[in-house]
Amino acid sequence: MDTRDRADREVFARELLREFGTQAQLTVYIGYAPGVGKTHRLLSEAQQLQRSGVRVAVGWIETKQRPDLEALLDGLERIPPRRIERGGSVFEDFEYEAAVAACPQVVILDELAHANVPGATHAKRWQDALALRETGIGVLGSLDVAHVETCAAAAESLIGFPAREIVPLSFLKAADQVVAIDVAPEQLEDRLRAGRILHPDDVARALQGPFRPQTLRALRELMLHTVDSLAAASLPAAGVSRALALVTPDVDPLPFLQRAASFADAFNLDLAACAGPRVDAAALSQALASLGATVVGPEDFRFDKPKLSALRASFVALPKGQLAGELLNAPVDRDVLVVGHVLPAERKASRDFSYHPYARSARDRMRIGYGRLTVYLGAAAGCGKTYAMLEQAQQLKQRGVDVVVGFVETHGRADTERKTEGLEVLPRRCTESGGVHDAELDLEAVLRRRPQVVLIDELAHTNAPGSKFAKRYEDVLSVLRAGISVMTTLNIQHLEGLSDIVLRLTGIRVRETLPDGMLDLADDVVLIDASPHSLRERLRAGKIYPAERIEAALTSFFRLENLIALRELALREALRVRTSARRLSAVSDLVLGVAARERDTTLVQRAARLARRLDADLAVVHVAPPGYERESAALEALRETAHAAGATLRIVEDADPARGLVAAAARAGTTIVVEGPRGKGRLFGPRSLASRLLELGAEEVLVLAPVS
């Protein structure tokens, strides 16, 4: 076992110790503005912990006399506050010594950026939190992103006034979990107008200042960037959610990294760079800064004796040359991009996306009244998507909006079922298949009822045979076209374009998928974040699956490393669809090389998903020897699969597959895509197809790791 593997196992062992309660944990809930629900989340978690037998005490909570928060305080132990008299008035503050003396298992600490009064044990409340954890007491705390030292300057320029109380980034890095609390800006505005955030006299000024829509959007991006940067997973080297670019001295860093960044974005990976000997540090630093990427040390990787196994990344980009040739002649366990001479990215003309399943919806939206689509996105079942959706529905109803439940699956959870009380619930459509009775969304009932807003849970669901549409997302599109707004839920693993990376990170192939464009179509994507530990705790408590499914889930999809990886994907996807300034793709054409075998239909589908996320054109090429058999079942299957993906199958005659592919990809800027070699490496045998492509002058080659 090498040093890195040992370190990974040690880190992961510590994660497991924390999960099973043998180490005190510090969990920080971070929001992008006051009123997003941090305090509500703290108290809700406190109540759940107490019901599970954990002794919880409230150290400090500011309820602002809101009835819903006051109700959540019922039955919770309170740490006696510190009382200070100043100027004839008495002030209260958190009392650290009292909390230590009470010695609960978990303390609730709101407003972690708060500066303690003179004479307190620590100057700042975040220091109280760290000290409590050192004594063996867990902490659930909260703060706004504007108070984080690395975000304060940007936040101040957005909100128009200084953030006086600052929390160092080192504090967040020291936390066991940092969880994003996200809500739609419209929901935040409702809370503001209802007097649940500020005094009514201050509402109008806030709407013109820190609560302006553009300000809230920017703060949301800032929050997600911050949480994403902290979500470092303890995963195997080939499974970590990172794209790594190997920079050598003979390459211009900026265009090379732009090329790598396009694929990193498409694979939903965080981009980092590793510099070889004699690389221009200043040029590299400037290029990384322009892309928002980071630099990492070579660790155990040697540029003179390269091995993929020494790199902590699930995608590797490197320049064309001897290094690439050596790496690609051995089996690959991750995707590898080899980049030749490239020019800086330029804006491309929009592609014709008429073959996309959601294309009609996009055109309709531009010419007729169209309902708004809100998607509640999570990393896995049980993170609270349906609960959050129902909570927003209740707020809409209080505001007088005509909102109904079209289809909501509560899975028997009492707290979720309570959230449906008072909402109109439309009847479901009963189905029967093979003697099994089920209930589906009644699309016609929704269209007849024609509410302003309808709740339709589980967007990726496959409808029962006999339904008007095969998938629920198609039902949702039909409802949107009728001018009805939809709120729905989705787990990140169901996005079609991420299915390959989900398989790589978790080892599990997700069967129910939907086009990525459904998120691009959404007016808002609300991230419902939850720590992997809390998800596993909810699973054990029977709040996600029935008792007979719990153990199997804990050892398969709900493994800790899977949940960590899926959470990173959810964070990045929420950021991708919400970011106001999208990064330009530097890729315009993909040429996929396939063999005359039916298993390569899967390769066509993988390349098509990648092309859609890159906004690139795809051509599928089979190089056949002269006099090949022109009709075969394998070629027909490839032709049909390519057509379904919006591409065509082109057959090129050449005795040398590599030469034929290079000729087919003669246009500048084209990326040749092939599957990597399987089995043992060719130490003395023939060169791999990827290596041959590079030898014959291929400008750029993407090698996809084989999947079973």
Residue-wise pLDDT tens digits, 686-708: 678 888 999 999 989 999 988 76
Higher per-residue pLDDT: 436 or 24? 24
Sorted by sequence, the CB contacts under 8 Å of residue 416 that are 6+ apart come out as 386, 387, 390, 410
The predicted model gives 195-201 an average pLDDT of 86
In a domain, 194, yes or no: no
Question: 517 near 357, Cβ under 8 Å?
Answer: yes
Q: Write the single-letter amino acid at 367.
A: R
In angstroms, the Cα distances linking 326 to 281, 311, 632 are 25, 15, 36
In this prediction, residue 333 carries a pLDDT of: 83
| Tokens at 272, concatenated | 């980092």
Task: Please check whether residues 410 and 295 belong to one and the same domain.
Answer: no
CA separation for the pair 676, 313 (Å, rounded)? 17
CB count within 10 Å of CB 281 equals: 11
Whether residue 533 sits in one domain with residue 602: no
Mean pLDDT of 650-661: 93
Residue 69 pLDDT > 50, yes or no?
Answer: yes
Read out DSSP for 231-289? ------TTTSSEEEEEE-TTS-HHHHHHHHHHHHHHTT-EEEEEE-TT--HHHHHHHHH
Q: Kindly write down the DSSP assignment for every residue of 173-210, as one continuous string.
A: HHSSEEEEE---HHHHHHHHHTTSSS-GGGHHHHHHTT
Task: Find the helix or strand (DSSP H, E) in which 575 lies.
Answer: helix 560-578
Q: Is residue 222 part of a domain?
A: no
354: number of Cβ within 10 Å:
9
The pLDDT tens digits of the residues spanning 538-566 come to 888 888 888 889 999 888 889 888 898 89
Query: What percentage of residues in the chain have a pLDDT greater than 70?
Result: 88
Q: Nearest to residue 522, comparing CAs of 376, 385, 403, 392?
A: 376
pLDDT grade for 343, boundaries at 50, 70 and 90: very low
Query: What pTM does this model have?
Result: 0.82
Kindly report which listed range (53-62, 157-166, 420-429) carries the lowest average pLDDT score.
157-166
Total of domains in the chain:
4
Alpha helix positions (H), 507-629? 517-521, 532-540, 547-554, 560-578, 600-614
Residue 341: per-residue pLDDT: 67
Q: Which CATH number covers residue 556? A: 3.40.50.300
Q: So what's the pLDDT on residue 155?
A: 92
The encoded tokens of residue 218 equal 């920017």
Q: Which residues of 195-213 are buried (b: 16+ CB within 10 A; e: fewer)?
A: eebbeeeebeebeeebbbe
- Assigned token pair, 168: 């160092």
Residue 206: inside a domain? no
Cα(27)–Cα(15) distance, integer angstroms: 13
- Tell me if 145 sits within 8 A of 151, measured CB to CB: yes
Nearest to 227 by CA among 197, 270, 189, 261: 270
Residue ending a domain, choose from 134, 156, 180 = 180
Task: Give me the phi and psi of 141, to 5 degrees please.
Answer: -130, 175
Per-residue pLDDT, 247: 92
**Does a structural domain hold residue 210?**
no
In degrees, rounded to 5, the angle at the alpha carbon of residue 665 between the alpha carbons of residues 662 and 668 is: 115
Q: What's the pLDDT at 356?
A: 45
CA dihedral (208, 210, 216, 217) positive or negative: positive
Identify the pLDDT of residue 319. 92
State residue 381's pLDDT score.
92
* Mean residue pLDDT across the chain: 85
What confidence tier does 66 reach under pLDDT thresholds 50, 70, 90? Answer: confident
Which letter does DSSP use for residue 73 in this model?
Answer: T
Report if residue 195 sits inside a domain. Answer: no
Token pair listed for 20: 């099973």
Do 637 and 550 sit in the same domain of this protein?
no
Q: Answer yes or no: do 595 and 570 share one domain.
A: no
Domain range for 271 is: 242-339
Q: Are residues 135 and 62 in the same domain?
A: yes
What would you measure as the largest C-alpha separation in the chain, in angstroms? 100
**Cα 300 vs. chain centroid, distance in angstroms?**
29
The whole-angstrom distance between residue 452's C-alpha and the CA centroid of its chain comes to: 29
Both tokens of 379, joined, read 């990393």
HSE, side-chain direction, 13 A CA sphere, residue 664: 29
Predicted pLDDT at 17: 46
Amino acid at the residue 349? A
Alpha-carbon distances, residue 30 vs 15, 223, 354 (angstroms): 21, 8, 40
* Over residues 190-204, mean pLDDT: 87
Each residue's pLDDT tens digit, 465-521: 889 999 999 999 999 999 999 999 999 999 998 888 888 778 888 989 998 889 888
492 within domain boundaries: yes
Residue appearing with tokens 């709407």: 207
CA distance 46 to 142: 13
The tokens for 486 are 């939809």
Q: Do 271 and 395 fall within a single domain? A: no
* Residue 237 placed within a domain: no
Which of 180, 196, 217 represents a domain boundary (last residue)?
180
State residue 87's pLDDT score: 76
The residue with greater pLDDT, 491 or 297, is 491
Check pLDDT > 50 for residue 51: yes
pLDDT at 450 over 60: yes
Tell me, what's the pLDDT at 350?
Answer: 41
Contacts 24+ apart (CB under 8 A), 198-205: 198/34
Tell me what pLDDT residue 342 has. Answer: 57
Are both 318 and 394 inside the same structural domain? no
CA 204, 224, 408 angle in degrees (round to 5)? 80
What is the Cα–Cα distance from 187 to 205, expressed in whole angstroms? 18
Which token pair is 239? 């499974």
What pLDDT, on a 0 to 100 scale, did the predictor assign at position 61?
Answer: 94
Q: What share of the chain is helix, strand, coil (3-state, %, to 5)?
A: 40, 20, 40
| pLDDT cut 90: percent of the chain above it | 50
Looking at residues 198-215, what average pLDDT do you find?
89
Distance of CA 171 to the CA centre of its chain: 23
Q: Are residues 617 and 492 in the same domain?
A: no
Question: What CATH number corresponds to the domain at position 308?
Answer: 3.40.50.620
Q: Please give the pLDDT value at position 655.
A: 92
Distance CA 528, CA 202 (A): 29
In this prediction, residues 96-105 reach a mean pLDDT of 96
Estimate to the nearest angstrom the gap between the alpha carbon of 655 and the chain centroid: 45
- Of 304, 339, 374, at which residue does a domain stop? 339
Kindly indicate the confidence band of residue 4, based on its pLDDT and cuts at 50, 70 and 90: very low
CA end-to-end distance (rounded Å), the chain = 26
Give residue 358's pLDDT.
Answer: 47
Tokens (6 digits) for 55 = 């002794």
Is position 631 within any domain?
yes
Which pLDDT score is estimated for 432? Answer: 72
Which residue is associated with the tokens 């374009």?
A: 497
Residue 644 or 296, more confident: 644
In this structure, the answer to whether residues 556 and 620 fall within a common structural domain is no
pLDDT exceeds 50 at position 227? yes
Q: Contact, 431 vs 418, CB < 8 A?
A: no
Instruction: Identify whether residues 115 and 257 lie together within a single domain.
Output: no
- Does residue 366 carry a pLDDT above 60? no
On whether the CB atoms of residues 135 and 100 are closer than 8 A, the answer is: yes
| 62 class by beta-carbon count within 10 Å (0-12 exposed, 13-18 middle, 19+ buried) | exposed
Query: Do 471 and 512 share a domain, yes or no?
Result: yes
Q: Are residues 94 and 137 in the same domain?
A: yes
Angstrom CA distances, 411 to 215, 382, 457, stand at 37, 10, 12
